[in-house]
Structure 1
Amino acid sequence: MKITDARVVVTAPGRNFVTLVIETEDGVVGVGDATLNGRELAVASTLTDHIRPLLIGRDARRIEDTWNYLYKGSYWRRGAIAMTAIAAVDMALWDIKGKIAGLPVYELLGGASRDGVLVYGHASGHTFDVLDGSVQKYLDTGYKAIRVQASVPGLDHTYGIAAGSAATYEPASGSLPEEDVWDSALYLDFAPRLVSHVREQFGYGVHLLHDAHHRLTPIEAARLGAQLEPYRMWWLEDPTPAEDQGAFRLIRSHTATPLAVGEIFNSIWDCQQLITERLIDYVRASVTHAGGITHLRRIFALAELYGVRTGSHGATDLSPISLAAALHIDLAVPNFGIQEYMPHPSPAEEVFRTGYRFHDGYLHPGDGPGLGVEFDEVAAARFPYVPRYLPVNRLVDGTVHDW
Structure 2
Amino acid sequence: MNIATAAVIVTSPDRNFVTLKLTTDDGLVGWGDATLNGRELSVASYLTDHVVPLLIGRDAHRIEDTWQFLYRSAYWRRGPVTMAAIAAVDVALWDLKAKSAGMPLYQLLGGASRNGLMAYGHASGRDQEELFDSIRLRLDQGFRSIRVQTSIPGIDAVYGVRAPAGQESEQHYEPAQRIARPMEEDWDTRAYLRHIPTVFEAVRNEFGPELPLLHDVHHRLTPIQAARLGKDLEPYDLFWMEDCTPAENQDALRLVRQHTTTPLAIGEVFNTIWDYQTLIKDQLIDYVRSAVTHTGGITAMRKLLDYAAQYQIKSGIHGPTDISPVGMAAGLHLDLAIHNFGIQEYMQHGDVTNEVFRQSFTFENGYLHPGNEVGLGVELDEEAAARHPYQPAYLPYNRLKDGTVHDW
Mark yes or no: TM-score above 0.5. yes
- Output the TM-score relative to the length of structure 2: 0.98
Moved over 6 A (4+): none
Paired residue for 1:101? Answer: 101
Question: Is 2:347 aligned against 1:345?
Answer: no
Equivalent residues in 2 for 1:79-118, closer than 5 Å: 79-118=79-118
- Inter-partner Cα distance in structure 2 for 1:315 and 1:141: 17
DSSP 3-state at the match of 1:288: helix
Q: Pick one of 279, 299, 317 that aligns with 2:322.
A: 317
Paired residue for 1:280? Answer: 285
Write out per-residue CA displacement over residues 179-221 of structure 1, whole angstroms, 9 at most, x where no aligned residue.
1110101100011011111101100121000000000000000
Q: Pick one of 240, 248, 251 that aligns with 2:253.
A: 248
Write out per-residue CA displacement over residues 49-104 of structure 1, whole angstroms, 9 at most, x where no aligned residue.
00000000001111000000100111111000000000000000000001000111
- Inter-partner Cα distance in structure 2 for 1:248 and 1:116: 32
Paired residue for 1:176? Answer: 181
Question: Is 2:389 aligned against 1:389?
Answer: no
- Inter-partner Cα distance in structure 2 for 1:201 and 1:76: 52
- Inter-partner Cα distance in structure 2 for 1:171 and 1:163: 12
Write out per-residue CA displacement over residues 116-150 of structure 1, whole angstroms, 9 at most, x where no aligned residue.
01100000111110110110111122211100011
Write out per-residue CA displacement over residues 365-401 of structure 1, whole angstroms, 9 at most, x where no aligned residue.
0000100001101000111101011111111100011
Structure 1 residue 166, shift from structure 2 partner: 2.1
Paired residue for 1:298? Answer: 303
Paired residue for 1:214? Answer: 219
Question: Is 2:240 aligned against 1:235?
Answer: yes
Number of paired residues? Answer: 403
- Inter-partner Cα distance in structure 1 for 2:314 and 2:174: 28
Paired residue for 1:57? Answer: 57
Paired residue for 1:132? Answer: 132
Q: Pick one of 192, 196, 202 that aligns with 2:207.
A: 202
- Inter-partner Cα distance in structure 2 for 1:344 and 1:139: 18
Q: Pick one of 266, 275, 281 that aligns with 1:270.
A: 275
Q: What one-letter code is carried by the residue in structure 1 that aligns with 2:175?
A: P
Paired residue for 1:370? Answer: 375
- Inter-partner Cα distance in structure 2 for 1:95 and 1:175: 36
Paired residue for 1:332? Answer: 337
- Inter-partner Cα distance in structure 1 for 2:168 and 2:98: 35
Write out per-residue CA displacement over residues 242-269 of structure 1, whole angstroms, 9 at most, x where no aligned residue.
1000000000000000000100110000
List runs of 5+ in structure 1 lacking aligned partners: none
- Inter-partner Cα distance in structure 2 for 1:78 and 1:54: 18
Write out per-residue CA displacement over residues 263-308 of structure 1, whole angstroms, 9 at most, x where no aligned residue.
0110000011100100000010110000000000011000000110
Structure 1 residue 226, shift from structure 2 partner: 0.2
Identity of paired residues, percent? Answer: 60
Paired residue for 1:166? Answer: 168
- Inter-partner Cα distance in structure 2 for 1:163 and 1:10: 28
DSSP 3-state at the match of 2:294: coil
- Inter-partner Cα distance in structure 2 for 1:322 and 1:139: 25
- Inter-partner Cα distance in structure 2 for 1:111 and 1:2: 26
